[in-house]
Structure formats: C-alpha cells, structure tokens
C-alpha cells in the first residue's frame, strides 16, 4: 500500500472516529449539575404598612383622630425605647385595641415592646396583649418607662384574626405612651406544587421511554463505530482493493464517463478524475 493512500486512510480514520464519538456523546442524556435549592429569605410585612380592620385608643382630643400612629410614637415623635430608635412601628395609648385580618397568610409576629423613651423613667407603665382568633396568646406583664424593650416572637400560622391590646398597669393611663416597635409579620411560604398521582405516573413513564431511546441510540452508534474501525483496520492490514491508478497531468485525457468510481470500504472514500 502506497504512503499517500495510507495517509488518506489515516485521515479518514481520525475523521470517522471523531464524528462517531461526537454523535455518541452528543446523543447522551446531558444532565445539568445538581444544584442545591436555597429557599429565598422570607418576606417581611410591617404592621404599619397594613390596613387594620379597626383601631382605637383611650386618648380623647377634639384636635386629633385618636387613632394609633404609624411609624411614630403616639406623640408623633420617632419611636424609641430604652435608647434604641426604630423607623417602623405603631405608637398607641391605653386602652388601645387594633384588629387585623390575617387569613392564614402569615407565620410569625415579631416586635420590640415598651414605653416610649419620651416618657421620664418610672412615670409610665403598660401591659401588652395579643389575641389570636379571640384567644389570649401573649401577655407581656408590666413594662415601665426607662426599661429596655421586650422582644415578642409569636407564631400566627393559620390564624384568621389578631387583636393587639395595650392596657395600663392598674395605676391609671397618664404618660402611658406604648410602642409596638418594628412590629412585623413573616409571610408564610407558598405551598410547593405536587402533581397528581396520575400526572406523576405519566411523567415517570415518559422519562423511562426517553431513557430507553437514548440507550438504543448508544448501542446503534457503538455498533457503527465498531464496524467503521474494523473496515479501516482491514484496509491497513492490506485487505483493501488494489489502489487505482491516480490521474496525473501527463496521463492522456480520457472521457469523464470512463473514469471508474472505486469504493474503499468507507462509503464516502472514492477515487475519481482529478484526485491526487
């Protein structure tokens, strides 16, 4: 076998193997790397951004609406308790009651509770209460002015209605300016979608059929690769037909219809006029 023919066959071997390997691996089920799902940070809704169903305080003044104040103390100053300031919250005055419709949308109520810092130490005292679906779920005990805030963490999951109440501590309501500082809800996560059993069965069956098809493609490609490599191997072992007489410029011109087409074991390997 001539050196030029061997080079041709070697080139065809490289191209054939490359194409078939690309076909085989290109048809495989290429799966994305596993990604660990991270739940997004739970949404927060501030009470001062919600509409209440009803609200009242014990303050009576013709020049005021007598309602709790949003994002301010009841004196319309920035909310502050025990030396800490808050941008969000509800300021009120006993006897105060605020009702909210929750409809099961929230998971947790959190707030810092106390007498507003505008009240001199020891001159105000209040009690905070929370009722969930008309059942007392939280009571703070007596909180006095000048003391640090008390943190509230109360589950409200599945609750339809909530009432927040502030009372005096039994010693009158003078200077009892109470703050639900940074009061906020954590929103309950949306339920994850679970397909019906019938749909899940259909999806599983479709997935199995696709996998079987990929397996058949793999086996077909593997057999084709084996056959082509065997054909090229036999060509190198001298089993291929004799090399044709290649055309040269000094060769007398012959009608194109008389040029033979010779197959070399590979369907696309042919010799024709002008091939050098």
pLDDT in tens, 154-168: 999 999 999 999 999
Gap between the Cα atoms of 65 and 262, Å rounded? 103
| Residue 143: both structure tokens together | 């909180």
Candidate from 95-104, 227-236, 253-262 with smallest mean pLDDT = 253-262
What's the rounded Cα separation, in Å, for the pair 128 and 181?
12
pLDDT tens digit sequence for 22-80: 554 554 444 444 444 444 556 899 999 999 999 999 988 755 778 999 999 999 999 99
State residue 272's pLDDT score.
Answer: 42
Confidence of residue 9 (pLDDT cuts 50, 70, 90): low
CA-to-CA distance for 79 and 181, rounded, in angstroms? 7
Which is more confidently placed, 101 or 241?
101
Distance CA 110, CA 152 (A): 5
Report whether pLDDT(178) > 90. Answer: yes
Distance from C-alpha of 16 to C-alpha of 232, rounded to nearest angstrom: 10
Sign, CA torsion 91/92/93/95: negative
- For residue 119, pLDDT over 90 is answered with yes
Distance between CA atoms of residues 274 and 248, nearest Å: 8
Eight-state DSSP code of residue 187:
E
- The contacts of residue 93 (CB under 8 Å, 6+ apart) are 57, 58, 59, 74, 166, 173, 176, 177, 178
Q: What percent of the chain has pLDDT over 70?
A: 64
pLDDT digits (tens, 9 = 90+) for 73-90: 999 999 999 999 999 999
Find out whether 94 and 128 touch, Cβ atoms under 8 Å.
no
**pLDDT tens, position by position, 183-222:** 999 986 655 556 677 777 777 788 888 888 888 887 887 7
Q: Cβ(225)–Cβ(17) under 8 Å?
A: yes
Give the pLDDT band (50/70/90) at residue 91. Answer: very high
| Alpha-carbon distance values, 104 to 136, 138, 161, 194, 274 (Å) | 17, 18, 8, 21, 83
Q: Collect all residues with Cβ–Cβ distance below 8 Å to 127 and sequence separation of at least 6.
A: 139, 140, 141, 142, 143, 166, 167, 168, 169
Whether the CB-CB separation of 89 and 116 falls below 8 Å is answered with no
**44 Cβ contact list (under 8 Å, min separation 6):** 184, 185, 186, 187
Q: Is the pLDDT of residue 259 over 70?
A: no
Q: Residues 93, 94, 95, 99: what is their CA dihedral angle, to the nearest 10 degrees?
A: 50
Residue 126 predicted with pLDDT over 50: yes
Q: What are the residue boundaries of the structural domains of the chain, listed by start?
A: 1-29+211-276, 44-187
Q: What CATH fold (topology level) applies to the domain 44-187?
A: Jelly Rolls (2.60.120)
pTM score above 0.75: no
Strand order through the sheet with 54-56: 54-56, 96-101, 161-168, 125-132, 135-144
């Amino acid at each position: 076998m001539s050196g030029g023919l061997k080079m041709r066959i070697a080139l065809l071997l490289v191209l054939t193997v490359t194409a078939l390997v690309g076909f085989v691996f290109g048809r495989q089920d290429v799966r994305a790397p596993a990604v660990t799902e991270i739940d997004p940070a739970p949404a927060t809704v501030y009470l001062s951004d919600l509409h209440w169903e009803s609200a009242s305080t014990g303050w009576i003044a013709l020049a005021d609406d007598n309602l709790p104040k949003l994002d301010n103390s009841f004196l319309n100053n920035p909310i502050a308790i025990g030396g800490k300031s808050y941008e969000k919250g509800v300021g009120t005055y006993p006897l105060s009651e605020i009702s909210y419709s929750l409809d099961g949308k929230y998971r947790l109520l959190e707030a810092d509770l106390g007498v507003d810092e505008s009240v001199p130490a020891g001159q105000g005292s209040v009690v905070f209460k929370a009722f969930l679906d008309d059942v007392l779920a939280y009571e703070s005990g007596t909180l006095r002015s000048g003391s640090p805030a008390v943190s509230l963490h109360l589950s409200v999951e599945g609750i339809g209605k909530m009432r927040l109440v502030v009372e005096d501590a039994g010693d009158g309501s003078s200077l009892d300016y109470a703050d639900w500082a940074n009061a906020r809800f954590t929103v309950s996560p949306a339920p994850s979608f679970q397909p019906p059993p019938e749909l899940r069965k259909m999806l599983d069956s479709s997935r199995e059929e696709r996998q079987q098809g990929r397996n058949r493609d793999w086996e077909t490609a593997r057999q084709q690769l084996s056959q082509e490599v065997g054909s090229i191997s036999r060509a190198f072992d001298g089993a291929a037909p004799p090399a044709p007489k290649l055309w040269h410029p000094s060769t007398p011109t012959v009608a194109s219809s008389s040029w033979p087409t010779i197959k070399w074991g590979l369907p696309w390997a042919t010799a024709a006029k002008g091939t050098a």
